[in-house]
Amino acid sequence: MLYIKCFFVLYLKFYNSISSIFLENNMNYYEHTIIARQDTSPSQIKQIQDKYSKIIESNDGNILKFESWGLMHLSYLIKKNKKGNYLHFKIEGSGKTIEELEKNEKIDKNLLRYLTVKVKKLDLDTDYFKKNEKNFKKKLLL
């Protein structure tokens, strides 16, 4: 009986050490959206993009796709802003990557909001906010 208990305790210690190794290196897919203030210039938006891209890459993450959705109306006032510049990242990384990213975003005064969503797979083909030229021409003719 004593041998079984010792074996069980050793097994649990071994299992916990092995599982923590595998869980740390687990890469997940994330969609991350940032809303910057409406009065940020295009050069400042480029700096914000570069800053957070470097943070992602320095923490063993990969940016699979970046989209700048531009200046859009907000549903409600956020810090006295009616509009915001939307930046959207599609990321492959670990929880450590997202933790570091959000830690830096909390202290950035140029950002209004940010949101990270973990997804099972990413849609890299669709551009949701790309203007369709055919529909744009039809609206002009009407």
DSSP letter at 132 equals P
Q: Is the dihedral of CA 118, 119, 120, 121 positive or negative?
A: negative
pLDDT above 90 covers a percentage of the chain that reads: 58
pLDDT at 135: 54
pLDDT at 97 over 60: yes
DSSP string across 24-69: HT--EEEEEEEEE-TT--HHHHHHHHHHHHHHHHHTT-EEEEEEEE
pLDDT at 11: 58
Residue 8, CB-side half-sphere exposure with 13 Å CA sphere: 5
Q: How far apart are CA 1 and CA 129, in angstroms?
A: 66
At 81, the pLDDT band (50, 70, 90 cuts) reads very high
Q: How far apart are CA 14 and CA 85, in angstroms?
A: 49
pLDDT tens digits along 10-53: 555 555 555 445 555 578 999 999 999 999 999 999 999 999 99
26 — phi, psi (to 5°)? Answer: -75, 120
**How high is the mean pLDDT of the chain?**
81
